[in-house]
Structure 1
Amino acid sequence: MKQNLFVYNTLTRKKEEFKPLNAPHVGMYVCGPTVYSDVHMGNCRTYISFDLIFRYLQHLGYKVRYVRNVTDAGHLEGDADEGEDKITKKAKLEKLEPMEVVQQYTVGFREVMKTFNTLPPSIEPTATGHIIEQIEMVKGILDKGLAYEVDGSVYFDVEKYNNSQDYGVLSGRNLEDMLNNTRTLGGQDEKHGKLDFALWIKAKPEHLMKWPSPWSVGFPGWHLECSAMSHKYLGDQFDIHGGGLDLVPTHHTNEIAQNMACCGKNPARYWVHTNMLTVNGQKMSKSLGNSFLPHELFSGNNHILSKGYSPMMVRFFMLQAHYRSTLDFGNEAMEASEKGFKRLMNALSLLDGLKTNSSTEVEIQPLIDRCYEAMNDDFNSPVLIAELFEASRIINSVHDNKLKIDSKNLELLKNMMHTFVFDVLGLKDEQTENDDLPKIMDFIVDLRNEAKVNKDYATSDKIRNGLQQIGFQLKDGKEGTTWSKA
């Protein structure tokens, strides 16, 4: 197992050596989607980033239990304790049962994730499937005197909690600043404090998704759901808790408070957060009219980019930026990334046909070491990709007989490329996913060779030029004709 992995911890605001609580086992919880609409690109960026982390931890030999929930109840429009439940609202608009909405968008979410070649999590629990666990957690917080009931709703007492714990430990903000910057919300008159948040909400008669509890017929607070599910499957404390950076100020802050109040521990050792997406320098958002959905990105049916891009190209583009940095979508950046992705895939297609030499002019082990150094530095995928481009340069030079490589170094090179491109970065060569493509191309090359033998140069040139137009290049050499993607 490769050692000395360092991870940036939002909790401590620094990189720390990754030391699992119970190695080789690793527990990782990532806040999943609220399934009331199509998954947006910001979500995709987060889950692709944690797929990279999941893959790399597994590659290092860790046995990872990756829990990613599905929020199918309790997430109100205001992301706090106001407005209507997002799923209930959608169900009423579409004249559907709430669970029809949940099913439709859960299936859609999983299809998009599969398209991006993300691995499924180990456990994918739903909020509605864990109502009992959430009720028990509320009871525990009430027993500790850190929550109170008002007319069937139960609220967490933030100021009382802050007397013994630092409520803003994750965000780095103090309570006074948060109180001064908190606007008064509708329905807050029954709360003791401005920052207090709902653990259980008494349902209005028209609310569709509700359950019996000791306090009222109602539904759980959004923040409580993740605390209950992470605790059930990963225990009082686990290794990594992840999500988007936008979850830090409220959702993850409240999760920590709930777990500390109920279990006496911060739920995670390492808090890991992905940064936001921008479009031509502006934050991507529906309100600015610069957002697009995955299928609109694939098809090119959007008013932002000049053309569509394949799922693997988009994944590659996302991984070219570090998960903690902003990622800017723009035509120039996307086109440059597409060229880089094709260059990488083309180099991979040449690997099996490379000829070895008794001597070598290149040592691959230092390159492999640099790949591990990149990933061990807080999963630095852009630096890893830069090293893979260097490997691609070596492959092309060996292919063009400009560089010698012996069998030992060639084997290292093959293993390195397959490990980091496919297993760690999770990329696929979309153009060669069809196992029959090599056979088809060999058949076409044979047809062209027959044309050349028969001195039918017009047909020979037609085949070569036609293939070039659709992205395949033929190269005639002493050993015969080889093909690659242009």
Structure 2
Amino acid sequence: MSTLHIYNSKTRTKEEFKPINPPYVGLYVCGPTVYSYVHLGNVRSFITFDVVYRYLKHLGYKVRYVRNITDVGHLVDDQDAGEDKIAKKARLEKKDPMEVVQYYANDFHKVMDTFNALSPSIEPTATGHLIEQIQMIERIIKNGFAYEVNGSVYFDTIKYQEEKGNYGELSGRVIEELIENTRALDGQDEKKNSVDFALWKKADPSHIMRWPSPWSVGFPGWHLECSVMSTKYLGETFDIHGGGMDLKFPHHECEIAQSVAADGKAPVNYWMHGNMLTVNGQKMSKSLGNSFSPYELISGDHELLEKGFSPMTIRFFMLQTHYASTLDFSNEALMGAEKGFRRMVNAYKALQEIQPKKDACTLEKNWKDKCADAMNDDFNTPMVIAHLFDAVKVINSAADGKTELSADEIIYFQELFADYLVDVLGINPELEGASAGGDDTLDKVIATLIEMRQEARANKDFATSDAIRDRLLAAGVLLKDGKEGTSWEKTN
């Protein structure tokens, strides 16, 4: 079997994964700024790294997964001037900022549970690590890479670049071009250079969220918290740092600079970035009217959606595209994913019912190796799903009575689905109900109709038997007669 290779955004190549201290692995992922409901792009990113976490555990690694909560310091437009996003929402809703934080953090956790994402090992908050952030700023100042002006502290990007020469290595940005393209902002005149960024900002009298520091009563910069919390819990240099592609610059670039300036070490060995979402080929945005929340996607309550889709169908849909590729949402794509997912779940269900018909194994059982090779190739979930569909063909053939499986072969397929569909991809058919998107009541109703149809056939009442079959088909339920009895699946 192959070894795990990860595409490293920093080196722009796939590299064999070699943990710093095996079997232990440190994984840090930038979490949400909890001032609003989590958007679909965030959900995709967190599902991506949930799969990374799951697969590392599947390989036997002892993973410490740290995902932060940003509850201060993230200013509007991701700049160094203006209002804090959480404070702004608190003002608009006439609430305390920590009330806003708690509400949207709770909702974020609810969404993650809905999509069957595992909880991280540690979920630290920015406000819970203010002392450590102040201490890192002090180390950066001591090392000559930051300066204080009027109670605010800024990172000296030009001096850092002159001495370390690696600012822009992650994003590919050229510092001279950044200087030319930086637009004037409030407070910019305090900085030595336009590309310098805030480590600590003095709070003006209207700023709600403020704390004492050696420089002023103020608040930390947005980039600082991740440098502090990742290295506090994972070490000055750790294995994997993940996030969305939109965070590569400036957030992750600044993280590297801060850590090197404070402690003299590059903080991360493997940088991973997920790609963006589009809708019908266009960038998802509120201004275009094509942005929808996870709840709208589930309920179907949006003008661009014909219907709602179950959380496991949505997760399945997202993992059909590689995390580093753009994922395009459309009704057609979601409907296609739902149809494919039903086939997968029906095969999963059939595995529990197929009776072994022969003693010896005749199949070449290599699906597990193929799935492992796909995951080892930079977490290639679309290829894993393709291999599972190849297995579905064999299972369906046995369920229809066209071929036979031994007891060992049935166990093999059960293990394959348990390992890769449920444990690694995190797509649990049991969360859908046995009907892949329906509920137990629907299962019982259809089971009753199948029983009535069988009684009609036994009494040679073929008109009633055919009527039950045809009316179910018209309602979107296909009955399939096989040697093991009658099964069913949705057609729409």
Q: CA deviation at 1:336?
A: 1.3
Contact 2:478-2:490 at 8 Å conserved across structures: yes
Match of 2:401 in 1: 401
Greater mean alpha carbon deviation, residues 178-187 or residues 101-110:
178-187
1:347-395 deviation digits (Å, cap 9, x = unpaired): 1111122233235553222x22111111100000011111111111111
The percentage of aligned residue pairs carrying the same residue is 59
Match of 2:425 in 1: 425
Q: 1:196 to 1:32 in 2, by over 3 A?
A: same
Contact 2:33-2:71 at 8 Å conserved across structures: yes
1:130-153 deviation digits (Å, cap 9, x = unpaired): 111111111111111110001111
Q: CA deviation at 1:464?
A: 4.5
Match of 1:144 in 2: 143
Q: CA deviation at 1:405?
A: 2.9
Match of 2:10 in 1: 11
Greater mean alpha carbon deviation, residues 50-59 or residues 166-175:
166-175
Write the mapping of 1:471-486 to structure 2, written as runs, cut at 5 A: 472-483=477-488
The alignment partner of 2:265 has SS state of coil
The alignment partner of 2:291 has SS state of coil
Contact 1:360-1:404 at 8 Å conserved across structures: no
The alignment partner of 1:210 has SS state of coil
The alignment partner of 2:66 has SS state of strand
Q: 1:173 to 1:480 in 2, by over 3 A?
A: closer
Contact 1:398-1:404 at 8 Å conserved across structures: yes
Greater mean alpha carbon deviation, residues 72-81 or residues 326-335:
326-335
Q: CA deviation at 1:342?
A: 1.0
Greater mean alpha carbon deviation, residues 335-344 or residues 150-159:
335-344
Contact 2:6-2:15 at 8 Å conserved across structures: yes
Match of 1:53 in 2: 52
Distance (Å, rounded) in 1 between the aligned partners of 2:337 and 2:300: 16
Write the mapping of 1:369-408 to structure 2, written as runs, cut at 5 A: 369-408=369-408
The answer on 1:86 being equivalent to 2:85 is: yes
1:236-258 deviation digits (Å, cap 9, x = unpaired): 01110010001112000000000
Q: CA deviation at 1:411?
A: 1.8
Distance (Å, rounded) in 2 between the aligned partners of 1:336 and 1:478: 29
Match of 2:321 in 1: 321
Stretches of structure 2 lacking an aligned partner (at least 5 in a row): none
Q: 1:255 to 1:477 in 2, by over 3 A?
A: closer
Match of 1:262 in 2: 262
Q: 1:114 to 1:202 in 2, by over 3 A?
A: same
Write the mapping of 1:347-366 to structure 2, written as runs, cut at 5 A: 347-356=347-356, 357-365=358-366
Greater mean alpha carbon deviation, residues 422-431 or residues 376-385:
422-431
The answer on 1:333 being equivalent to 2:333 is: yes
Distance (Å, rounded) in 1 between the aligned partners of 2:487 and 2:43: 38
Match of 1:228 in 2: 228
RMSD value, Cα: 2.1
Q: 1:279 to 1:485 in 2, by over 3 A?
A: closer
Q: CA deviation at 1:452?
A: 4.5
Distance (Å, rounded) in 2 between the aligned partners of 1:435 and 1:237: 49
Contact 2:68-2:125 at 8 Å conserved across structures: yes
Normalising by the residue count of structure 1, what TM-score does the alignment of the two structures yield? 0.94
The alignment partner of 1:53 has SS state of helix
Write the mapping of 1:15-414 to structure 2, written as runs, cut at 5 A: 15-165=14-164, 166-356=166-356, 357-365=358-366, 367-414=367-414
Q: CA deviation at 1:164?
A: 1.9
Q: 1:152 to 1:42 in 2, by over 3 A?
A: same
Report the AA paired with residue 60 of structure 1: L
Distance (Å, rounded) in 1 between the aligned partners of 2:481 and 2:279: 44
Distance (Å, rounded) in 2 between the aligned partners of 1:361 and 1:221: 62
1:143-166 deviation digits (Å, cap 9, x = unpaired): 111100011111000011111221
What is the aligned residue count? 484
Runs of 4+ in 1 over 3 A off after TM superposition: 358-361, 433-486
Stretches of structure 1 lacking an aligned partner (at least 5 in a row): none
Normalising by the residue count of structure 2, what TM-score does the alignment of the two structures yield? 0.93
Q: CA deviation at 1:443?
A: 5.8
Distance (Å, rounded) in 2 between the aligned partners of 1:71 and 1:449: 59
Q: CA deviation at 1:410?
A: 2.5
Distance (Å, rounded) in 2 between the aligned partners of 1:380 and 1:92: 44
Distance (Å, rounded) in 2 between the aligned partners of 1:246 and 1:154: 25
Report the AA paired with residue 431 of structure 1: G
The alignment partner of 2:372 has SS state of helix
Q: CA deviation at 1:279?
A: 1.0
Contact 1:74-1:221 at 8 Å conserved across structures: yes
1:34-77 deviation digits (Å, cap 9, x = unpaired): 01111101101100111111111111111111111010111000
Contact 2:401-2:483 at 8 Å conserved across structures: no
The alignment partner of 1:353 has SS state of coil
Q: CA deviation at 1:112?
A: 0.9
Distance (Å, rounded) in 2 between the aligned partners of 1:386 and 1:479: 26
Q: CA deviation at 1:303?
A: 2.3
Distance (Å, rounded) in 2 between the aligned partners of 1:305 and 1:437: 24
Report the AA paired with residue 178 of structure 1: L
Q: 1:401 to 1:446 in 2, by over 3 A?
A: closer
Report the AA paired with residue 95 of structure 2: L
Q: 1:200 to 1:296 in 2, by over 3 A?
A: same
Contact 1:39-1:293 at 8 Å conserved across structures: yes
1:87-142 deviation digits (Å, cap 9, x = unpaired): 00111111111111111111111111111111111111111111111111111111
